[in-house]
Each structure stands twice: as C-alpha cells, then as structure tokens.
Structure 1
C-alpha cells in the first residue's frame, strides 16, 4: 500500500469515517492506479474462514459487509472531493491477526494500514492521516493508539507505515513483532502523561 511520504507539510485534508455513505469513495481510491484492490484492507482483520482461498473480490465483499454492519474500520482523507488517503484505525480486537499475539490491554486502537493515492504521494499525507486517526480514536474513547511500522528499507509490510513517521508523531517503541515490525504506542491525554 501507500507507504510513507516523508511527513512534509501539505494543504489540510478533510477526513471522514468509512461508512456506507463514503464507501464509493473508498472503492474509488482502492481501484485507482497503484491501489490495493487485491486486499481491501483485510490482511489483519480477516477471520480464519475468510482467509481460506480469498481473492480480491471476496475480500472486498468482506470489507463491505463490515462497513454495512456499522463496524469501525478507518478513515478516508479527501483533497476537495477526491479521496486520496486511507488509514485503517479501529479497536485492536477487530484486527484478530494483530491482536492475537498482543497483551489484553483495554482501550487500545490500532493503525493497521496507510495508503496514499499514487498521484498524491510525497506531500506529507501519511503524517496528516496519522494525526487524524489519533484524533478519531481519542474522540471514541481510546486510551492508547498502537501502530506496527517497519523501517524505511523493509521490503514488505510497508502498508503499515514507517517507524520515522510514528516517532515524529510522539509514538514510542514498546516491543518487536516478528522480524520486520515493531509495536509503537501513543498514550492519549487523560490516560497518563505522554507516550509509554
């Protein structure tokens, strides 16, 4: 997926939750050149049954069903009326393939995917999406926001974002997760001072 764009400043975007009303924009973003229409952001949230032999169409249907049911799955960033950024931000328990190996802390939300439209990369949009995601989670009662970024030279899992992006945003590394990912956490105001 989109990867980091260096955190450079850009014009403000408008962010909105992915709902049935914004689904057409989500679909347009994912089907645009360079879009992740093969996974539909189901890598970490798929159940074991959904994983078996799933193709792009099946994953799209699974995500559409979650959105139709009112599940919180993430936010879209708009440049005017054009959808240009996707950020998966949701309660960690809705991402079983990430949550299974983690502690049982309550109130943890996870940033599990960042995708920037190819035409808008290099404009600082991942930093803007991270900030909007943190605000989104805070407004919904999150105590912590976690991310699983990789280093800039990683050859896979780049859709999780890069370590430097999260460190600039005040996240602190708390542990390793496999051979490529690290777990970063931000403690939100009202639940302690600063990051862990």
Structure 2
C-alpha cells in the first residue's frame, strides 16, 4: 500500500510543478530549472543592472539642471498664492458649492454660490468684471447681469439671468478655489 502512495504522490507533485512553471514567464521558468549557484549570480547581475540604471537616471537629472543637482528646498516654486478678500470653501464632498435652481417652470434659472466667507461685495464685483465683461455682453443683457448678481442672505450670492453654472464653476477653479 505504501508503494502505491509514493509514486502517485510524486506524480502529483510533478504535475503541480509543471502547472506552476507553465504559468510563469519564460525567464522565471529558466530560473527555477537552473542550479542555485547560477541563481545567486543572476540576482547580483540584476542588482548591478539596477545600480547602473539609477546612476544613469541621476546623470540625466543632473544634465537637466545644468550639471548640478538641486536640493528640494532650492527648487523654484511653480505656484504662487493669491489672496482675495473672499473665500469659497468646498463642501463636505470636496466639491465647489455652485448650484443651479429653476423657477417659473424652468423659464428663470438661478445660480447659487453658497457659504462664501469674507467680503461678498468684492466677489460680486469680480464676477461682474471678469466673468461677464462689458465688451462681450451688449445691450439689455449687461443691465440684466449687473442687476442679476445679488447678495442673498448672509453668505450666498445669486446670479440670475442665464445658465452660467459651468462658467462660474470654471471661473472659481481658475481662481484657485
């Protein structure tokens, strides 16, 4: 009984070894079938290749900076902060609080900017000056816009007169909010 168990067991292990080897890439298959001494040399070869590639990437980085490597504190800052007299914080989901509202069976569209902190009058003037410039809007529409941007309650601004949710959202993103 023991004679039958051992040949069956060895065939099972050989079969499972073939499945594992066939599932691996060809380079790993040769690595598994090679002696241990060669495997140790293989690992040192990959380490030396890794060291060569990192030294070449350091040389490439140095060539980009004019031959000198710069410390992180020495690198120039790319973004500068601009301070406005108002701040539009994001909501709890991380989105900018710009919402649309429809009145009179969708004939009148309102755009709400909620939870504005700071000087609301300055935000209103910036919206009118930069988002709706006078040279692009003519006639009665400019009067609508100037009268349509109003401060509502304590911390909200309401823009009346058109579907400007996307434009206001992009404008606030461009300002860094």
Q: Which entry has the higher C-alpha Rg, 1 or 2?
A: 2
| Structure (1/2) with the larger helix percentage | 2
| Structure (1/2) with the larger strand percentage | 1
**TM-score, normalising length: structure 2:** 0.24
**TM-score, normalising length: structure 1:** 0.23
